[in-house]
Amino acid sequence: MTMPSAIDTITIRRPDDWHVHLRDGAMLAAVLPFTAAQFARAIIMPNLTPPITTIEAARAYRERILAALPPGANFQPLMTCYLTDHTDPDEIAQGYAEGVWVAAKLYPAGATTNAHHGVTDLANIGGVLARMERIGMHLLIHGESTDPEVDIFDRESVFIERTLIGLLRAHPGLRIVLEHITTEGAADFVRAHANQCAATITPHHLLINRTSLFQGGLRPHLYCLPVAKRERHRLALRRAATSGDACFFLGTDTAPHPAGAKEAACGCAGCFVAPTALACYAQVFDEENALANLEKFASLNGPAWYGLPPNEARVTLRRATSRQPAEIALGDERVVIFRGDEPLAWSLS
């Protein structure tokens, strides 16, 4: 980590968040304002219960998101389709042609929260992938091996070796986003295949390593998937995010859960990072003396990858201490905020 730079304010095009879990119902209403306040557009993950697998379900979910927006908010949800073993290539292509969804999400079955309806074998979606390749529709991947024999800290690298390399070869025209990368190997792989592959990087994977999960005791609110890795991987992710390289862009993977579901004998995976996301990213870029590249990562590389125009509006971030609450209320429950109740060096004005 280098010394923070002398820059005290930075104005960039309004950012987008290319990986968001907004959930539904009361949770959606509680968390959406944080994302909409910072980001103009977001790719909405489809892992609801039941998952968003049809055009009709995606349309209805999009309407629920728009209805939950605070008055005056300027925010566009970009929907995705959850792939299963039974996904119909025609449904995928029709939803894409109608502009209902912009991408499809591949969860290897059981890889993460609400992934049990995911794909058990890529062979089952060969026709879907071929169609997506033909029509130019993007594939977003939760890149972790689900082989129970594989150590949890190796699941991303094993997925790349055993699955992703073959997938790129089998579908050379398919555009792939490897979501929330956590390893040096993944960053290197994406860089080496940048014509076909891009990656999102979360704020938390830039700030914590696997030791943070056990700092002074078990920290359930830092547990997400893919799980944070060793320090050398965190440093490699920092280099990737702050490089300005077109293949890396912002995706918070904000994944809220009621505190009770995380502070449990078998706590679930996901960090609620939306409220502090932009401040966290700015801090990282500042510490890496790379504020000049923040706009590329947050506001330019993502739209360019998806073939969308960058946002015209500008936002200004200031070096001024801010603080979010420790948690938000959700009925009788609460949702704990990543880096909540801690001083943040940067604020959005």
Q: Under the rule (CB under 6 A), what is the footprint of ligand NCD?
A: 21, 47, 112-114, 142, 224-225, 253, 255, 269-270
Find the Cα–Cα–Cα–Cα dihedral 17, 339, 182, 83, rounded to 10°.
Answer: -50
Q: Is 341 part of the annotated catalytic residue set?
A: no
> Binding partner of residue 12 among ligand NCD, Zn ion, none, CB under 5 to 8 Å per kind?
none
Residue with smallest beta-carbon separation from Zn ion: 253
Q: Is 16 an interacting residue with respect to Zn ion (CB under 5 A)? A: no
227/345 with CB nearer Zn ion: 227
Residue 266: other Cβ atoms inside 10 A:
5
Distance CA 155, CA 167 (A): 17
Closest approach, Cβ 320 to ligand NCD, in A, equals: 30
Closest approach of Cβ 270 to ligand NCD, in Å? 3
Q: Which of 253, 286, 287, 288 binds Zn ion (CB under 5 A)?
A: 253
300 contacts which partner out of Zn ion, ligand NCD, none, CB within 5 to 8 A by kind?
Answer: none
Residue 44 in tokens: 């909405």
The interface partner of residue 171, options being Zn ion, ligand NCD, none and the CB cut-off 5 to 8 Å by kind, is: none
To Zn ion, the closest distance from the beta carbon of 319 in angstroms equals 30
Catalytic option among 253, 286, 332, 341: 253
Closer of 141 and 317 to Zn ion (Cβ): 141
Sequence-ordered list of residues with C-beta below 8 angstroms from that of 220, at least 6 positions apart, any chain: 262, 263, 264, 267
CA atoms within 13 A on the CB side of 115: 21
**Concatenated DSSP letters for 142-201?**
------TTS-GGGHHHHHIIIIIHHHHHH-TT--EEE-S--SHHHHHHHHHTTTTEEEEE
253 or 286: CB nearest Zn ion: 253
17 binds Zn ion (CB under 5 A): no
Cβ 21 to Zn ion shortest distance, Å: 6
CB of 45 to Zn ion, least distance (A): 5
Quickly list H helices, the chain: 25-38, 55-68, 89-97, 126-135, 155-159, 165-170, 184-192, 203-207, 231-242, 259-262, 277-287, 294-295, 301-306
Where do contacts with Zn ion occur on this chain (CB under 5 A)? 253
Residues noted as catalytic: 253
